[in-house]
Amino acid sequence: MSVYSWIEESVWLLLIPLLFLGMGLAGLHHRRYQLAGFVIGCYITGLAGIGWLIEPNLASGGFLGGGLPMTGSGLLFILRRTDREAREKILSNSQSLLEKGFPSKALDASNRLIRRAQRDGVLMQDSRMWLSKARALTGHREYGRSITYYSMALEIDQNNEELWFEKGELHRKLKQWEEAEACYLNSTEIRYTHGEAWLKLAQMKERRDKLTEAEDAYVIALELDSNHGFAYLGLGRVQSKLERVKEALKSIEKSIALLKEDYRPYMVRGDIYYSIGDYERADAKGYSKAVNIRPDMKNGWRKLAKVYRSKDKKELLIMALSRILEIDSEDESALWERAECHFEEKKLGDSMGDIHRLLALNPGNQKARKFKAKILEKLDTREWD
């Protein structure tokens, strides 16, 4: 038989060994291929198949040598798949517990997940492992520790804008304005259309007195979401600080229209009118409306007290201070100021009552004791004894 006839008859027999050989070579060149046993088994089996065509009696060892690593690789594949399914189940359970409001159980599940991932050797391959524990710690209000796990997740998945945003929220809660700003900035750089990240970035820049940059960020947030009341509110605050009062008032009006019964725009509007000396409008259009919406807001009543003090309206000032004391009966500054107002209005009994309450809270207050002596000079000392 000629060589050409032999090749013509045997070419079909070469297909199977060449296929195995090709699979092995492809696996060797594919660096991310993890099942090394399968690759080596295919390579050896391909060579054994070619050897079988030449000398069948000597090829059995090659087939055995190729079959063993392929079998081991198959078993390894099954084990890895089983481990992966177990990790996914624990991860899903942790997320479910957190959503149902059980942060302690969610934290236990995330700890099991991390131990399992570490044992399986995939801990640094999936950011969800770290993120699961980070969110569970956030549910526990352990923000400092949670930030550490967010950082680990971001080492694996640096281009995830939501991870940067969530980490920024934690820094914001801890009043770490610079770190929060950096996180929100990364989030906007990864996804420019992330309107909420632009809003938070603007707020952090405002906190750090970067007013021009804050204004630009608020404008971008409004371009992405034109009906965002808090963006208009922040823009109004910044414009007020930049002494552009008319623009600031227009922005606050838009914020009020969008936020409806929210007290915060009215507080800012009151601040704007107060800053230009328009105390009537600061009262009527600002602080009074804010405390009507939220009567238990001590800061609102303090602002009103400041307005009434500037307008020299003693009765209204006493009323505002009384509301502060209804909210917080141990507010020493409100007690002291009301005692002074009562004294100026010649209501000495009421003034003495406030001083007694003040001394009960702080017996070592020498200023209050001197004021008490001043009141006693105006009264019949024997009557008080």
Segment 333-348, tens digit of pLDDT: 999 999 999 988 888 8
pLDDT for the residue numbered 32: 42
Residue 100, pLDDT > 50, answer yes
Residue 128, pLDDT > 60, answer yes
pLDDT for the residue numbered 35: 55
Closest CA to 194 of 158, 221, 174: 221
Segment 53-72, tens digit of pLDDT: 555 555 555 544 445 455 54
Phi-psi region of 271 (alpha: psi -120 to 50; beta: other; left: phi over 0): alpha
Residue 76, pLDDT > 70, answer no
Model-level pTM? 0.73
For the chain, percent of residues with pLDDT exceeding 90: 47
Q: CB 192: neighbour CB atoms within 10 A?
A: 13
23-55 as b/e: b if 16+ CB within 10 A = bbeebeeeeeeebebbbbbbbbbbbbbbbbeee
Least confident of 76-80, 84-88, 302-306, 346-350: 76-80
Distance (Å, whole) CA 76 – CA 343: 88
Residue 284, pLDDT > 80, answer yes
Segment 183-229, tens digit of pLDDT: 999 999 999 999 999 999 999 999 999 999 999 999 999 999 878 89
Residue 86, pLDDT > 90, answer no
If one compares 91 and 320, the residue with the highest pLDDT of the two is 320
Segment 19-40, tens digit of pLDDT: 555 555 444 444 444 555 555 5
Distance (Å, whole) CA 31 – CA 10: 34
Where does the pLDDT of residue 15 fall: very low under 50, low under 70, confident under 90, or very high at 90 and above? very low
Least confident of 6-20, 114-128, 367-381: 6-20
pLDDT for the residue numbered 46: 60
